[in-house]
Homo-oligomer: A and B are copies of this chain.
Amino acid sequence: MPTIMVEGPKIDVEKKRQLVKKLTEAAVEVYGIEHIIVIIRENPPENVGISGELLADRKRNEDKTSG
């Protein structure tokens, strides 16, 4: 009864539907077990840090640079 947890950004319900379908297919193929649980977590960009910087700040800086 494998369980898959996904930490990602906010996505709409249609993307969640696709994500669950595709991840489950992948897991069923590899494990040979039909019963797969997927939990999707949507993290706001101010709650994620990459290389020491908040994702929220990073985006703001990139916008400035490209603006």
Please tell me if the beta carbons of A29 and B18 are within 8 angstroms of each other in the complex. yes
Most B C-beta atoms less than 10 A away, residue of A4, A20, A25, A46: A20
How many chain-A residues does the 8 Å CB contact rule pick out? Answer: 50
Near B by CB (< 8 A), chain A positions 1-16 give 1-9, 11, 13, 15-16
CA distance A59 to B6 in the complex (A): 22
Chain A residues close to B by CB (< 8 Å):
1-9, 11, 13, 15-31, 33-43, 46-54, 56-57
Other than A11-B31, A35-B51, give 10 A-B pairs with Cβ distance below 8 A.
A3-B3, A4-B6, A8-B27, A8-B33, A13-B56, A15-B30, A19-B26, A35-B50, A37-B48, A39-B47
